[in-house]
Homo-oligomer: A and B are copies of this chain.
Amino acid sequence: MSVPAIDGYRLQLRVYMEDTDAGGIVYYVNYLKFMERARSEWLRQMGLNQQTLLDEGTQLVVYRLACHYAKPACLDDALEISAHVVDVGRCRMTFEQQVWRDEELLCTATVEIACLSAERLRPKAWPASLNILTRAS
C-alpha cells in the first residue's frame, strides 16, 4: 500500500462520513488531519511514535502551516497523502505535503513542526534516531 522512504511517506486512506460537511465535500479542516496521519506514519517508519515521545517528555507541535485547496474530495474517495521532509533544524522540521485522488492533486501544504519539552513547551533537540536525517539534510 505505502512506499516508505527515509525522507517521506505516502499514506492511502478512505474518506468517511465523519470527514465530510453539509457542502457535500470533505470539510477543509480535515485534510490537515489526513496530513498529520501521514507524518505520524513517517515518524513510525523512522522508529518513533508520539506516545513514546510524550512519555519521554517530548512533544511535537505544528507552529506554522500554509495550505492551498485546489479541488474538493468527496465521501468514499480513496486518497493518497504524501509527507516529504524538506528542511530539518536542531529543534524543527518542515514538511511538504500533498493530497491526491488518482492523478488529481487536491490540496498542498507546508507544515512546520517544532520539537518541544512537554513540560515547559520549550524547544528541544530531535530524538537521536532522527540524526541520520539531520545529517543528510
Task: Please tell me which stretch of A16-24, A83-91, A94-102, A123-131 contacts chain B, meaning at least 4 of its Cβ atoms lie within 8 angstroms of it.
Answer: A16-24
For this chain, the copies found in one complex come to 4
Residues of B within 8 A of A22 (CB): 17, 20-22, 24-25, 50-51, 54, 74-75
Residues of B within 8 A of A44 (CB): 76
* B121 contacts A61, C-beta separation under 8 Å: no
A113 to chain B, nearest CB (A): 10
Cα of A40 to Cα of B23 in the assembled complex, Å = 14
* B64 contacts A36, C-beta separation under 8 Å: no
Residues of A within 8 A of B (CB): 14, 16-18, 20-25, 27-29, 32-33, 36-37, 40-41, 44, 49-52, 54, 59, 61-70, 72, 74-76, 118, 121
What are 26 A-B contacts defined by CB distance under 8 Å? A16-B33, A16-B37, A16-B40, A17-B22, A17-B23, A17-B27, A18-B27, A18-B29, A18-B36, A22-B51, A22-B54, A23-B61, A24-B24, A29-B29, A29-B32, A29-B33, A32-B32, A44-B76, A50-B76, A51-B74, A51-B75, A54-B75, A61-B69, A63-B68, A64-B66, A66-B66
